[in-house]
């Protein structure tokens, strides 16, 4: 099970994102603005993750790494900026259309992961099987765009 734990975590994340998008659509369509939804989400998240990092003894090492490694600090800032903007944009997309279509287009992010991994770090992490799966996803996204 340990070697496949990553898959369980990723699949569970996918299920939770899907569930979250379903309810966020109802919240957003009720008139709650994406920035307000994000604000409440972040305010609630801060104490939870502060306690989690404290009790798992990750708070001090994380701060030390950020303080001592400028490149990791830069990557950290980029990740935070990307996630803030991406969350805002997906919630806005859901509010303008619906959770199903927005999430089906959003699943194209693996293409950008492959592209950026290669362009920035000169790593190529695709196999024939994953490339074929990606082609199927891209075909589906194209169909959704053209027919919706």
23-42 tens-digit pLDDT: 999 999 999 999 999 999 99
% of the chain with per-residue pLDDT over 70 = 99
Domain-wise residue ranges, the chain = 2-106, 109-148
Burial of 32 (0-12, 13-18, 19+ CB in 10 A): middle
Q: Would you place residue 58 in the very low, low, confident or very high pLDDT band (cuts 50, 70, 90)?
A: very high
Helix (H) / strand (E) element for 126: namely none
% of the chain with per-residue pLDDT over 90 = 66
Residue 1 is predicted with a pLDDT of 60
Tell me the C-alpha distance between 131 and 129, whole Å. 5
- pLDDT of 105 > 90? The answer is no
Q: CA angle, 92 as apex, 110 and 116 as ends, to 5°?
A: 25
DSSP 53-108: HHHTT-HHHHHHHHHH-HHHHHHHHHHHHHHHHHHHHHHHHHHHS-HHHHHHHHTT
Residue 63 is predicted with a pLDDT of 96
Residue 147 is predicted with a pLDDT of 85
| Lowest mean pLDDT, pick from 22-31, 37-46, 123-132 | 123-132
Residue 11 is predicted with a pLDDT of 85
More confident: 59 or 138: 59
Burial of 137 (0-12, 13-18, 19+ CB in 10 A): middle
More confident: 73 or 110: 73
Per DSSP, 122 falls in state -
Span 37-49, mean pLDDT?
A: 97
């Amino acid at each position: 099970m340990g070697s496949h734990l990553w898959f369980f975590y990723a699949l569970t994340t996918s299920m939770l994102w899907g569930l979250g998008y379903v309810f966020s659509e109802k919240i957003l369509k009720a008139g709650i603005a994406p920035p307000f939804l994000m604000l409440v989400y972040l305010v609630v998240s801060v104490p939870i993750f502060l306690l989690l990092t404290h009790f798992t003894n990750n708070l001090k090492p994380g701060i030390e790494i950020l303080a001592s490694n400028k490149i990791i600090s830069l990557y950290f800032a980029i990740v935070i900026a990307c996630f803030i903007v991406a969350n805002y944009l997906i919630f806005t997309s859901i509010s303008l259309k619906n959770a199903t279509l927005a999430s089906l287009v959003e699943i194209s992010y693996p293409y950008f992961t492959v592209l950026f991994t290669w362009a920035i770090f000169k790593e190529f992490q695709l196999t024939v099987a994953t490339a074929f799966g990606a082609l199927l996803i891209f075909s589906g996204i194209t169909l959704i765009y053209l027919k919706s």
